Amino acid sequence: MKLYILTLESLSKSHQAVQAGHAVAAYLLKNPKTVWDNGTLVYLKVPSLEPWAQHADAVFHEPFWDNMLTAVAILGKSDLVKGLPLL
C-alpha cells in the first residue's frame, strides 16, 4: 500500500522535503498499528492543502510558521490523488 504525502507547491524544495517528513512522522504517531509498513512513499505537490485535509489520515501544521498546514498524509486512495504532480 502506498502512503501519499501532499505538500504545498509554493514552498521551496527543501521545505517541501522537511514538511513531507513531518507528515510521515505525524501519520505514524497517529496510526501506530498501520498496515503501511515502510513501503512506497509518493510525494505530491498541490497549491492548497485545505481541500485534501478532509481526506487525510494525518496532517502536519508547522509551529514555526504560525501552525500553517504544510503537509498531509493519505494512505491508499490512489484514485483520489491521481493526476497530481510529483514533488
> Per residue of the chain (87 residues), what is the pLDDT tens digit?
999 999 999 999 999 999 999 999 999 999 999 988 888 999 999 999 999 999 999 999 999 999 999 999 999 988 889 999 998
Phi and psi for 40 in degrees, rounded to 5? Answer: -75, 130
| pLDDT, position 19 | 96
| pLDDT, position 37 | 84
| pLDDT, position 81 | 92
Nearest to 44 by CA among 28, 78, 30: 78
> Strand 41-46 relative to strand 3-8: parallel, antiparallel, unpaired?
parallel
For the entire predicted model, the pTM comes to: 0.92
